[in-house]
Structure 1
Amino acid sequence: MSVIKHDPIGGPPSKGFRLDRTDAKIWGVCGGIANYTGIDATLVRVGFVIGALVSFGTAAVIYGAIGLIAD
């Protein structure tokens, strides 16, 4: 069963989380999170880097899990 992501009449796309392949540096996780939340992708990337340093790599593992599971 497929899910329609865009309204066929031309309305706005549905707000579901998807990896962003156009704004991707590694897998598009940060770009997808930025599109989903409406904030700048650079801020999300900086947040992941700071989170990876502070959490001793746990944020990097979460990033990898999102990249493998999503989309």
Structure 2
Amino acid sequence: MGVVAARVTLGALVLLPFALRRGGLVALLRRRWRALAVVELAAPFLLIAFAERNLPTGTTGARPPATPWGPC
């Protein structure tokens, strides 16, 4: 999971200046930072970990190309 977290963090750091330049990001984060943290960060990682423990091996092997992160 460390590799995925590093890739997501790097992507966020690359896109952050563009989001700040457009404006509105600070106001959105002030109001809804908890909901954004749960929906955008915690939920996907927890669901992927849960699926890898409960799905058959063949299905789990087909998952990496289907995710936005690519092979983990």
- Normalised by the size of structure 1, how large is the TM-score? 0.34
Which protein has greater RCO, CA pairs closer than 8 Å, 6+ apart?
A: 2
Larger helix percent? 2
